[in-house]
Amino acid sequence: MGRKLMNGNQAAALAVKYSRVQVVCAYPITPQTSLVENIAQMWAGGEFPGEYVSVESEYSALSYLIGASYSGARTFTATSCQGLAYMHELLHWAAGARLPIVLVNVNRALGAPWSLEPDQLDSLSQRDTGWIQFYCADVQEIMDTLIFSFRLVEQTRIPCMVVYDGFVLSHTYEVVEPPLQEQVDHFLLSPPSRAAFHTDKPQTIQAVTDSRYLSRVLQERHLSMLKIPGIVKELDHKFQEIFARSYPLAEGTNLETADTVIVAAGSLAQTVKSFLNTVEDRKEKLGLLRLRLFRPLPKDEIASLLSGDNIKKIVVIDRNVSAGVGGIFAQELRALLQGIPYRGKIFEFNLAGGIDLTPAMMEKVLQAISEDPGSEGKIIWGVDLQ
């Protein structure tokens, strides 16, 4: 198939079709809406042979998939902000029940007040639910990561959330190379097609337990999560063999030479990358660390990417804020870098509320940290630099 122009939501819908999902269940919410509309269109036209069920809430959407997944079907849903928050209880349940569900979350700010801006707190505040989380940087990556995720969840039985920025990626058109159906069929395992139960064999699933049993379950989930970075790497080799594209757990640019490293996730990383490419003759040597797999955080990879003596300063860009703490990516990075031989300083640059990152703003941040080394520990707010 040739290259095509499409936006993030269209790419995600196509990935669902190629992945031969059996049950899609969703509730519309801006900016996810065109994703589910695209699936509904393909379903109505007979192009998508799976079931498409439109329910009365996000709560029921994920409940429905929990049911369908218990029955052994390949399942998908998509949501955003309030919808993801409304699913919260079920996110925990799906992970606890080890159900291989794939979910797209299109980042949008949580109210109050109402907003349509691409703040990341919706997905980041679900980081402890036990789901794998990927943050995508472009439209091709959305399509590829989704296809990849179906294989990943069915192999590990840990559900996966594929995250991308509202509007910036969901509604922006980019050139994409769609896969061939044979390639996807070759990469994915056949759908589980096996229920978690058999009516001839009485059993009770997810019944009340005592602390000892529960602790084992939670321990097992934690240990399974720790294996995810290794499994993602392995699967990425297979993916590369078939699709000739590859995605790292975390992506480094100019990290061998940089004295100042900018850390960002999602489309923000693309913005920073073009900033690196366009700005020459500056006193700092800039590098970029893009966070892609966020849950579990690939500790070893990130530590090794940031291990160079050349790195003196790290600027973490967060488009979210955990009130009273600061940016969540910054918080996670600080925790990760604890106890490893690292000498650089960490600065926080915060775009909470969905502030757009501009080159002028980037310049001001770099200036601020070079003029005031004491700004480490303080937050530089994008809104103050506009």
For binding to other proteins (CB under 8 A), which residues are involved? 22-23, 25, 50-51, 53, 55-57, 59-61, 63-73, 75, 89-90, 93, 191, 193-199, 201-210, 213
Shorter beta-carbon distance to other proteins: residue 50 or 83 = 50
Shorter beta-carbon distance to other proteins: residue 79 or 140 = 79
Kindly state the smallest distance separating residue 109's Cβ from other proteins, in Å: 25
Shorter beta-carbon distance to other proteins: residue 201 or 283 = 201
Asked if 98 and 134 count as a contact pair (C-beta separation under 8 A), the reply is: no
Asked if 257 and 290 count as a contact pair (C-beta separation under 8 A), the reply is: no
Kindly state the smallest distance separating residue 96's Cβ from other proteins, in Å: 10
Shorter beta-carbon distance to other proteins: residue 1 or 205 = 205
Shorter beta-carbon distance to other proteins: residue 21 or 305 = 21
Kindly state the smallest distance separating residue 21's Cβ from other proteins, in Å: 10
Beta bridge pairs of residue 322 = 326
Shorter beta-carbon distance to other proteins: residue 43 or 93 = 93
Kindly state the smallest distance separating residue 255's Cβ from other proteins, in Å: 44
Kindly state the smallest distance separating residue 103's Cβ from other proteins, in Å: 14
Residue 242 backbone phi and psi in degrees, to 5? -90, -45
Kindly state the smallest distance separating residue 94's Cβ from other proteins, in Å: 10
Kindly state the smallest distance separating residue 217's Cβ from other proteins, in Å: 10
Query: Sheet of 250-253: strands edge to edge?
Result: 250-253, 286-291, 260-265, 313-318, 345-350, 379-381
- 3-state secondary structure string across 289-346: EEECEEECCCHHHHHHHCCCCCCCEEEEEECCCECCCECHHHHHHHHHHCCCCCCCEE
Going by the DSSP 8-state scheme, the letter that residue 131 receives in this structure is -
Which residue matches tokens 């500790």? 299
CA-based nearest residue to 373, from 326, 312, 285, 324: 312
Beta bridge pairs of residue 381 = 350
Shorter beta-carbon distance to other proteins: residue 50 or 354 = 50
Shorter beta-carbon distance to other proteins: residue 195 or 340 = 195
Dihedral angle computed from the Cα positions of residues 42, 45, 46 and 48, in that order, rounded to the nearest 10 degrees: 0
Q: What is the crossing angle of helices 211-226 and 228-243, to 10°?
A: 40
Kindly state the smallest distance separating residue 79's Cβ from other proteins, in Å: 14
